[in-house]
Amino acid sequence: MSIPKGSRVEWHVAGTWHRGKVIAVYTHDIREVRGGKRILRIATDACPAYLIEMGDGFTLIKSHSELTRC
């Protein structure tokens, strides 16, 4: 089941918990260039990808399996 747009989420990276807000839900593969790096997230109806906005305005894309709702 997908996490609805507007939901608060958190994820764990390198020993630190981060939080943000879902601003878009993708059910198709996403390919972008961010900071000079190519980003690919495989997404389906069963396992969507999410565009997340952090408190400082930074945005990133995370897979469903990386996120927990707050």
Give the model confidence (pLDDT) of 20-31 as tens digits.
999 999 999 999
Identify the weakest region by mean pLDDT among 12-21, 31-40, 42-51: 31-40
pLDDT at 35 over 90: no
Residue with token string 């990808």: 49
Q: What is the DSSP letter of 28?
A: S
Q: Whole-angstrom Cα distance, residue 23 to residue 54? A: 10
**Would you say the C-alpha torsion 50, 22, 62, 64 has a positive or negative sign?**
negative
pTM score of the predicted model: 0.90
Residue 1 has pLDDT above 90, yes or no: no
Cα dihedral across residues 26, 67, 57, 7: positive or negative: positive
